[in-house]
Amino acid sequence: MRFSSQSFALLAFLAIPLVIVLGVLAHQLIDPELARGTADYVGNYALLERLRQACLILSFALAGGLWFLAFGLLLVARQRSLLWLVLAFLGPLGLVAVAVVGRAPAAGGERAAWPWRLAREAAIFVAIVVLAHFLVYAKNEVLIAWTAASRGVESAVIIAEQTASSGMWAFGEFLQILFLTGLFYLVRPLVGRRKPT
């Protein structure tokens, strides 16, 4: 099976959360207090702390590299100039813009149907964002029920804990919605359209 640039863009995009989670996990697992009891406690502590911070910084740098790789591969798949890579700084919204634009137009392409295409793409965007929001909401409801059951408390206790730090929860949900929106726009051409044979 031959993979397209779009498929590799999707794989790079899916690797971003994995890289960040592994970097944060490595950051939490490295304990600078392991230097306790060594001959050079201060030096070893500083070395372990630098290693700990380096894991975090490296994971975010690698995630940024994967993001630009996914964006560049999408541009190649859409037959667009790499100058469009500037839109990568808009995050998933830039990805949506490139995905909506589609392939480079043929000479004398259809320009008369642009209002209908714009309306259709706006409706698809709203549908994708609503679907992403629904999935994040459903995931949170399942997570609340599971956490309450595993801790042996009522769901209201878990909801109260989340409400106490609602800003962090809201920001996390926003990031999840952005990720799912970008993911749906990357998957859409792979499952929605087949090349004519």
CB 76 within 8 A of CB 8: no
Mean pLDDT value across residues 27-40 = 86
Is residue 87 one of the residues assigned to a domain? no
Neighbouring residues of 155: CB distance < 8 A, sequence distance ≥ 6? 144, 145, 148
Residue 83 has pLDDT above 90, yes or no: no
Look at the block and give the residue holding tokens 């956490």. Answer: 147
Whether 141 is in a domain gets the answer yes
Best CA proximity match to 6, nearest among 96, 83, 72: 72
Question: Residue 29: phi, psi to the nearest 5?
Answer: -80, -25
Distances in whole angstroms, Cα of residue 95 to Cα of each of 28, 106, 150, 167, 192: 32, 22, 38, 26, 17
* The domain boundary residue, chosen from 29, 57, 79: 79
Domain shared by 182 and 136, yes or no: yes
Q: What is the pLDDT of residues 139-196, one digit of tens each?
A: 999 999 999 899 888 888 888 888 887 778 888 888 899 899 988 988 887 776 554 4
Q: Which candidate, 10, 2, 132, places its Cα nearest to that of 71?
A: 10
Those residues with Cβ within 8 angstroms of residue 105's Cβ, 6 or more apart along the chain or in another chain: none
Of the candidate ranges 17-26, 62-71, 74-83, 92-101, the one whose mean pLDDT is the lowest: 92-101
Q: Is residue 42 part of a domain?
A: yes
pLDDT of the residue at 112: 56
Cβ proximity of 63 and 73 under 8 Å: no
Q: Are residues 73 and 129 in the same domain?
A: no
At residue 50, does pLDDT exceed 90?
yes
Domain boundary among 79, 111, 144: 79
Q: Are residues 69 and 99 in the same domain?
A: no
The reply to whether 74 and 103 lie within a common domain is: no
Q: How many CB atoms lie within 10 A of CB 70?
A: 25
Residues 156, 96, single domain; the answer is yes
Per residue in 88-120, pLDDT tens? 898 888 888 887 776 555 555 555 577 787 788
pLDDT score of 136 more than 50: yes
Q: How many domains does the chain have?
A: 2
Domain's final residue, options 58, 79, 100: 79
For residues 119 and 170, membership in a common domain is answered with: yes
Nearest to 87 by CA among 104, 77, 102, 72: 72
For residue 1, what are the domain limits? 1-79
97 and 192 co-located in one domain: yes
Q: Is residue 135 part of a domain?
A: yes
Same-domain check for residues 48 and 102? no
Percentage with pLDDT > 70 across the chain:
89
Cβ–Cβ contacts within 10 Å for residue 66, how many? 20
Examine the domain organization and report whether 130 and 179 are in the same domain: yes
Q: What is the arithmetic mean of pLDDT over 33-56? A: 89
Write the single-letter amino acid at 37.
Answer: G
Is residue 115 a part of any domain in this protein? Answer: yes
85, part of any domain = no
**Lowest model confidence (mean pLDDT) among 60-64, 128-132, 135-139, 159-163:** 159-163
More confident residue, 108 or 11: 11
Q: How far apart are CA 13 and CA 66, in angstroms?
A: 7
In-domain check, residue 157: yes
Question: Which pLDDT score, from 0 to 100, does residue 133 have?
Answer: 94
Q: What is the share, in percent, of the chain residues with pLDDT greater than 90?
A: 34
Section 70-78 average pLDDT: 87
pTM, two decimals, is 0.73
The pLDDT score that the predictor gives to residue 9 is: 87
Are residue 5 and residue 49 in the same domain, yes or no?
yes
Q: Is 86 inside a domain boundary? A: no
Listed as own residue / partner, the contacts of 111-114 with beta carbons closer than 8 Å and 24 or more positions apart are: none
Q: Pick 4 or 174 by higher pLDDT.
A: 174
User: What's residue 51's pLDDT?
Assistant: 93
Instruction: Clarify whether residues 59 and 142 are in a common domain.
Output: no
Q: Cα separation of 7 and 175, whole Å?
A: 23
Looking at the structure, do residues 69 and 163 belong to the same domain, yes or no? no
